[in-house]
């Protein structure tokens, strides 16, 4: 009797102890979940967004992406800044400079450049080369960087004494931005290896993304349309500009995409839609494969002959536009080989005021050419110095484009006259 009672008591004790252990473990799990609701939750949210959207999931297997999450969450992360740093460390093995954390200031400035008309900084658009060196893609017209003689192809070596390779692309760009009137010391190296320091004063740079004018000689009237970047407002501004040029009876168009480092891909596609009639604009390749090409609408805003100017500062969304025009034989490309950024980023909000940019796809021209790292080769190469101001009277690139358009227009006139003459002969 006592033996049976003791066994029962022992069994009950074990059950109770087991329940206590399970309950305690549940409490620990609840506490762990609660701990992820602040700074660690920010890290987990960033990991999840990248895990769901990054264009190359095979990279995850290569770098053991899930283990990186586990190791990152085991770190002591108590502040938002520690969370940002942990996310940067977590993203580094992806080896994609465009997938990056955007701290509140950077996130706000990026949104301003995409949706607004002004930005505070020195006017540099940056990228990275194969050796992870921070490279100047282009300079904005009228910016402190342009006035200091910084050009596409230069490298940023240091910002305020800190190595750009130590900072990385995102933090280098961040340190160059700031309030108007403040200064930043930048060490620049040229492609030839010459090193110099420039002291730049940040200021509000008027992006003026669309600029236009009419060029006229004794026999022809040509429109000039310059797009400096692709922000949300650009497609509408381009429509208005093309309508204005049509009213001024232009016969041909020079589209200037020099030093246009991109912006919103959707805006670049919308501009292509204004110039192409029922033609493929671009194909995208995401983690699920190649999607069908985006086809332009039937109606166009301008259907006359065109020349498109590009250079080594022409990148991303502007390469999509240039590639669609070249592959569809809508416009010849004239100038230099383009930069070669063929990756598309999606911008996601992270937390209350920060964000994360994630590379979600690569893009291909209508003929299937991959631009990433390759760039685009113009139909006609120009070995000419850049003008001090694009579109000015001393811009030799514009003069070359004018002469080419005039030859096209004269051929069209001869063709029309020949058709009319043949019609007259048929009637007689």
- 279 catalytic? Reply is no
The vertex-162 CA angle with 118 and 46, nearest 5°, equals: 65
Selecting among 138, 327, 331, 362, the annotated active-site residue is 327
DSSP tag of 64:
T
Main-chain phi, psi angles of 371, to 5 degrees:
-85, -25
Burial class (CB in 10 A: 0-12, 13-18, 19+), 29: exposed
Indicate if 85 belongs to the active site: no
Eight-class DSSP state of 304: S
- The number of residues in the chain equals 428
Dihedral sign from CA coordinates of 156, 159, 161, 167: negative
CB neighbour class for 298 (10 Å; exposed up to 12, middle 13-18, buried from 19): exposed
- The answer for residues whose C-beta is within 8 angstroms of residue 33's C-beta and 6 or more apart is none
Q: Which one from 341, 348, 354, 362 is the annotated catalytic residue?
A: 341
What would the 3-class secondary structure string for 30-52 be? HHHHHHCCCHHHHHHHHHHHHHH
Could you tell me whether strands 155-159 and 210-216 are parallel, antiparallel, or unpaired per DSSP bridges? Answer: unpaired
- What the block records as the tokens of 73 is 């969450």
Q: Spell out the alpha helix ranges (H) of 54-133.
A: 58-63, 65-73, 80-91, 104-115
Nearest to 376 by CA among 325, 309, 322: 322
- Residue 327 is a catalytic residue: yes
Choose the catalytic residue: 39, 143, 316, 318: 316
Surface-to-core class of residue 158, CB atoms within 10 Å of its CB (0-12 exposed, 13-18 middle, 19+ buried): buried
Determine if residue 140 is left, alpha or beta; phi over 0 gives left, psi from -120 to 50 gives alpha, anything else beta.
beta
Which residues are marked as active site?
A: 316, 327, 341
């Amino acid at each position: 009797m006592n033996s049976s009672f003791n066994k029962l008591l022992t069994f009950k004790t074990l059950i109770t102890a087991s329940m206590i252990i399970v309950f305690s473990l549940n409490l620990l799990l609840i506490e762990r979940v609660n701990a992820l609701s602040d700074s660690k939750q920010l890290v987990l949210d960033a990991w999840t967004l990248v895990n769901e959207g990054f264009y190359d999931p095979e990279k995850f297997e290569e770098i053991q992406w899930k283990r990186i999450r586990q190791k990152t969450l085991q770190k002591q992360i108590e502040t938002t800044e520690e969370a940002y740093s942990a996310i940067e460390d977590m993203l580094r093995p992806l080896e994609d400079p465009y997938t990056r954390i955007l701290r509140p200031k950077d996130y706000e400035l990026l949104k301003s450049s995409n949706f607004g008309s002004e930005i505070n900084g020195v006017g540099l658009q940056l990228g990275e080369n194969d050796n992870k060196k921070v490279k100047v893609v282009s300079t904005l017209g009228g910016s402190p960087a342009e006035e200091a003689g910084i050009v596409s192809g230069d490298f940023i070596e240091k910002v305020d004494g800190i190595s750009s390779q130590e900072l990385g692309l995102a933090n280098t760009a961040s340190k160059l931005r700031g309030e108007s009137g403040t200064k930043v010391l930048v060490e620049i190296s040229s492609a030839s290896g010459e090193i110099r320091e420039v002291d730049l004063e940040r200021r509000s740079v008027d992006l003026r993304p669309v600029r236009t004018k009419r060029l006229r000689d004794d026999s022809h009237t040509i429109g000039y349309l310059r797009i400096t970047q692709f922000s949300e407002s650009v497609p509408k501004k381009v429509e208005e500009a093309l309508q204005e040029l049509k009213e001024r009876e232009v016969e041909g168009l020079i589209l200037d995409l020099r030093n246009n480092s991109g912006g919103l891909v959707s805006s670049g596609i919308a501009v292509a839609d204004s110039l192409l009639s029922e033609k493929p604009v671009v194909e995208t390749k995401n983690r699920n494969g190649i999607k069908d090409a985006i086809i332009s609408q039937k109606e166009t805003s301008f259907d006359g002959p065109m020349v498109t100017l590009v250079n080594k500062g022409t990148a991303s969304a502007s390469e999509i536009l240039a590639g669609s025009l070249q592959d569809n034989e809508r416009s010849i490309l004239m100038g230099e080989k383009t930069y070669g950024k063929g990756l598309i980023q999606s911008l996601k909000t992270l937390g209350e005021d920060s964000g994360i940019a994630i590379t979600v796809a690569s893009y291909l021209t209508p003929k299937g050419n991959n631009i990433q790292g390759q760039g685009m080769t113009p139909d006609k190469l120009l070995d000419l110095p850049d003008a001090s101001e694009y579109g000015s009277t001393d811009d030799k690139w514009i003069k070359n484009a004018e002469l080419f358009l005039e030859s096209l227009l004269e051929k069209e006139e001869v063709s029309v006259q020949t058709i009319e003459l043949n019609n007259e002969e048929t009637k007689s």
